[in-house]
Amino acid sequence: MRRWTTALAAVLLTAGAVATAVPTASAAPGVSACPTGWGSVDRQDRTVPYQPQALSNVRTGAQECFDRLVLDVPGTTPANPLAYQVHYVTGNAVRQAGSGTAIPVRGGAVLEIVVGAATYDPATWQVVYPGRAGEALPGVDLNGYRTFADTRFAGSFEGETQIGLGVRARLPFRVFQLDNRLVVDVAHTWGTAS
């Protein structure tokens, strides 16, 4: 009997050691910490002196905590930045620069993005980005995105390009520049969890 008791104690000690060696999750499954503090107020850098730039592409990506829109503008860097303005508009349309024509954008809220880059090469006047006013951005498919609902090209006027980005609701966003691109991230929620 003593042998069985000793064997049982050994098994229980081993099981206890294995159980404590298994890592435990500090948060509920499927919940991760996401960046906070972005807010929904206007973001802009309009102090950049005008220099002819060309918008070559617009692309998107779905991340764990946010959806991302990237505007490719070759030749720009954080040291040689791109002028931009990103803000929520009233209603579900952006007003086209120059004409004032309303460009409807689907979503619970609409971000207007204006960048200091044209859709044509300023040196050759050749079109480098094939956006058409009032239509969805070429090559952008938003199926499966949690926050992005729609994109609309509003036009390129006097060296600036205007885009409407429809989102699920007025959510926090951030804007930053990297080499050759401007990035706009819109969070999935206002909270700290995805």
Confidence of residue 122 (pLDDT cuts 50, 70, 90): confident
Q: Which of 69, 71, 52 is CA-nearest to residue 129?
A: 71
Taking the domains of the chain in order of start, what are their residue ranges? 43-187
Residue 120: beta bridge partners?
A: 127
Predicted confidence at residue 44, as pLDDT, reads: 86
C-alpha angle 45-46-48 in degrees, rounded to nearest 5: 90
Tens-place pLDDT, residues 162-182: 999 999 999 999 999 999 999
Confidence of residue 19 (pLDDT cuts 50, 70, 90): very low
Length of the chain: 194
Tens-place pLDDT, residues 94-119: 999 989 999 999 999 999 999 999 99
Beta carbons within 8 Å of 99's beta carbon, 6+ residues apart: none
Predicted confidence at residue 30, as pLDDT, reads: 52
**Least confident interval from 31-40, 59-68, 76-85, 139-148:** 31-40
In 10 A of CB 32, how many CB atoms? 11
Q: Which of 143, 139, 149 is CA-nearest to residue 171?
A: 149
Q: What is the Cα–Cα distance from 64 to 27, expressed in whole angstroms?
A: 16
Specify whether domain 43-187 bears CATH 3.30.70.2860: no
Q: What is the Cα–Cα distance from 168 to 106, expressed in whole angstroms?
A: 9
Tens-place pLDDT, residues 69-85: 999 999 998 888 999 99
In the predicted structure, residue 146 carries a pLDDT above the cut 70: yes
Provide mean pLDDT across the span 150-157: 96
Q: What is the pTM of this model?
A: 0.80
- List, as one string, the DSSP characters of 33-58: B------SS-EEE--SPP---B--EE
Six-digit token string for 188: 């999935």
Predicted confidence at residue 8, as pLDDT, reads: 40
Q: Name the CA radius of gyration of the chain, rounded.
A: 25
Predicted confidence at residue 24, as pLDDT, reads: 32
Q: Which of 192, 128, 123, 117 is CA-nearest to residue 159?
A: 117
